[in-house]
Amino acid sequence: MLKISVSGVRGIANESLTPGVCLDFAKAAGTYFGGGTVLLGNDTRESSEFIKGIVMQGLLSCGCRIIDLGIVPTPTIGFMIRKLKADGGLMITASHNPKEWNGLKFMRSDGIFLNQSQGEDLIGIYNSKGFIERSGGSVKVFKRGGDDHIKKILGTVNRLRIRSKRFKVVLDSVNGAGSIITPVLLRKLGCRVVEINTDTRSPFPHGAEPTPENLTQLAEMVVAENADIGFAQDPDADRLALVTDDGKAISEEYTLALCAKHILEKSLSGKKIVVANLSTTRAIDDIVKEFGGIVLRTKVGEVHVAEAVKSEKALIGGEGNGGIIYPKIGYNRDSLTGIALILEYMAADGRPISEIANSIPEYHSAKKKKECRSIEEAEIFVEKVKEHFSKETLDTTEGIKVLFKDAWIHVRPSNTEPIIRVIAEARTAEEAQRLAESILKI
């Protein structure tokens, strides 16, 4: 199945994601970027280098000047687009999907993914095959992208304070794009690094998504090594999950919550704005309220959060899937920035990460999905949910979010397939499960 959305295209390599699809999407991107300078990077999937060759052909046919960054995290491309003043970028990755999948993600000149309107324009070019044809294209290999990204991060946090702690860190990069750059960052921060799953030749040794059930090896190694913390990345290193010093793999929701609390504590003046999507934990609201700040909620999707962080000059933003967007570095979800901020928080606070995490308000979530016969039927179902909860407080930014005193339910139709996504959060796992299941009975 080929999944086409405004942020990119994904499919099983050489099945739904065929060479022809990759070539035409590359031509569409080259046309959309006006044959200008385009940065190119990839994760470690077996199909990525093959797809990169096809993508280069498509971009060159449009006269693009390609700067190939090699194997790099997605946020490195976003950062380098701005640094090199490129017209856009393209990342070859299927993010957290299994290794037989691959995909293309498109970024504009500010390093942010294409938004709804821009994505539709690119898809329109792809469907119409109205590609420009120009000569003069070129390819330049640029190997310093990761170094420049690291340098920027090191200049943004208190490097000396972190180095003084000599933290022992276990890193699991799932043999993905973070495998090369992340150990370098950690050692420059003075950490004693224990690497597992940082071999780019063997993706992926366990489930690619950095969720607790996929981090048993990391949790065991943190305990065995008596480490201060464990960090887990996804294949394109835009998401970050944590294992505490007592060997507990905690929810990805804690990544943004911890980083936001740390940034708010550092912020001495000005507007204290934090941006999160509608499905991110309410712990963010509790934390921001403590500091007299404001939480802005957006539709689900990195681009919505990124654009709000930029336009509202927020201190930080992100999503509950472990994605941190810190504007002092850039406008992409960035696991490397998240790592540096967490280590800075630990160095400043002095307590073990397990104790710091326990200070975050605890909520539990449950996720469900409901299949429908069509996208139209899914939209009708959302209207039924709205009627059912008409006497409650509702947020209609995207789908329906029902707000209770200590809980919420978010119901939204998928943009790409006829299903309803349901996520509920409450103080107990049992209540969250009950709320999520109650939607399916409507």
- Residues annotated as catalytic are 95
What DSSP string describes 334-346? -HHHHHHHHHHHH
Please answer whether residues 398 and 299 qualify as being in contact, where contact means their C-beta atoms are separated by less than 8 angstroms: yes
Assign 64 to helix, strand or coil.
coil
Based on the number of CB atoms within 10 Å of its own CB, is 101 exposed (0-12), middle (13-18) or buried (19 or more)?
A: buried
Please answer whether residues 411 and 422 qualify as being in contact, where contact means their C-beta atoms are separated by less than 8 angstroms: yes
Please answer whether residues 59 and 66 qualify as being in contact, where contact means their C-beta atoms are separated by less than 8 angstroms: yes
Quick one: tokens of 144? 């310093």
Assign 143 to helix, strand or coil.
coil
CA angle 418, 429, 388 (to 5 degrees): 50
Rounded (10°) angle between helices 74-84 and 335-349: 100
214: closest CA among 200, 202, 196, 192? 196
Assign 413 to helix, strand or coil.
strand
Amino acid at 337: T
Determine how β-strand 316-319 pairs with β-strand 273-277.
parallel
Longest dimension (CA), the chain: 62
